[in-house]
Amino acid sequence: MNIAIPVFGDRVMPRFGFTRELIVVTVEEDAIVGHKRLPVTPETWAVLPSRLRTEQVSVMICGGIHPRFQHLLQQENILLVVGVAGEWQAVVQAYLQGTLHSDPAFCLCRRKHRRRGTPFRRRQS
């Protein structure tokens, strides 16, 4: 089984849409046997779901992800685990042990919810 994780350094990227690198982890018999880093460029975003399928990714673990991209990954039969934070190695181990905690409301990533609340105002001097 291969697991893809968008990362920033060694941590799960909080927002999938801003990632520049994915780690594809190869798992056999509930143990990590290898991993490789895949660069993500603006040119590769359009073909990323099919590229993940080519890499035989069956699970994507991430922080927040836009619903449109969730749909594209689900069309490729990739299981999504969203709302996850931490170092990627610890996250994969927790997933394999069945102890991974995720929060689907971690980041809804919907533009319509931006700019709500009190706007920033400069102090009058």
Give pTM, 2 decimals: 0.81
pLDDT band at 4 (very low <50, low <70, confident <90, very high): very high
Task: Identify the pLDDT of residue 44.
Answer: 85
Question: What would the 3-class secondary structure string for the chain be?
Answer: CEEEEEEECCEECCEHHHCCEEEEEEEECCEEEEEEEEECCCCCHHHHHHHHHHCCEEEEECCECCHHHHHHHHHCCCEEECCCCCEHHHHHHHHHHCCCCCCCCCCCCCHHHCCCCCCCCCCCC
Which residue would you say has higher pLDDT here, 64 or 106? Answer: 64
pLDDT band at 117 (very low <50, low <70, confident <90, very high): very low
Q: Which domain holds residue 61?
A: 2-113
61 assigned to some structural domain: yes
59 assigned to some structural domain: yes
118 assigned to some structural domain: no
pLDDT band at 124 (very low <50, low <70, confident <90, very high): low
122 assigned to some structural domain: no
CATH number at residue 16: 3.30.420.130
Which residue would you say has higher pLDDT here, 87 or 68? Answer: 87
